[in-house]
């Protein structure tokens, strides 16, 4: 025998507006983040320095190895070393050396020379190289003091080194 027929009313689906859906998604995400935080704490509890994360010391930059001198002759090598010193220590005008250690052309040649004779010969060659392009240059110090930056002094140290090398000096 068949029982009484029952009717079940099905409720219409609830339609949520955008704000309600955002609130619902926000609650779900908060729950997921809380669970992830608990998992992280459980996974890192055995690490002694997990909180806070220690600073990692960056490795020291490697200094480039000094290239060998390209000039086998003593005066050319002196002028090349003077160029390297000028780049490293800096350039100045009006004095042989300033408080920071920068040097003028004569000062840098004297510092790079093995002897007083090499320094004198290097200065003579430097003046000759300068006078090829600046015929009215009286001396190396006056020409040095008329420059605005170290680019030309450094360039003429290299030109003088090439001149000395070509002459076998």
pTM of the model: 0.61
Q: Rounded CA gap, 29 and 40, in Å?
A: 16
Picking from 100, 82, 103, the residue whose alpha carbon sits closest to that of residue 91 is 103
Residue 145: is it exposed, middle or buried by C-beta count within 10 angstroms (0-12/13-18/19+)? Answer: middle
**5, two tokens:** 């027929």
Residue 140: its pLDDT value, please?
A: 94
- Pick the residue with more confidence: 130 or 62? 130
Q: What is the average pLDDT across 88-105?
A: 91
Determine if residue 90 is left, alpha or beta; phi over 0 gives left, psi from -120 to 50 gives alpha, anything else beta.
left
* Domain-wise residue ranges, the chain: 18-51, 74-166
Which of 9-18, 44-53, 121-130 is predicted least confidently? 44-53
Task: List, in sequence order, every residue forming a beta bridge with 97; answer none if it has no partner.
Answer: 103
Residue 67: its pLDDT value, please?
A: 74
């Amino acid at each position: 025998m068949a029982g009484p027929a029952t009717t079940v009313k099905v409720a219409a689906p609830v339609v949520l507006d955008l704000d309600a859906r955002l609130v619902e998604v926000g609650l779900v995400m908060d729950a997921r983040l809380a669970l992830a935080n608990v998992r992280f704490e459980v996974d890192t509890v055995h690490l002694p320095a997990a909180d806070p994360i220690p600073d990692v010391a960056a490795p020291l930059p490697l200094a480039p190895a000094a290239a060998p001198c390209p000039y086998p002759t003593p005066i050319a090598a002196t002028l090349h070393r003077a160029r390297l010193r000028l780049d490293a220590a800096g350039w100045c005008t009006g004095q042989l050396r300033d408080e920071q250690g920068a040097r003028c052309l004569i000062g840098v040649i004297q510092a790079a020379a093995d002897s007083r004779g090499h320094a004198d010969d290097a200065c003579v060659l430097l003046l000759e190289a300068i006078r090829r392009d600046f015929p009215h240059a009286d001396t190396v110090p006056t020409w040095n003091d008329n420059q605005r930056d170290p680019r030309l002094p450094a360039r003429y140290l290299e030109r003088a080194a090439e001149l000395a090398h070509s002459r076998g000096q």
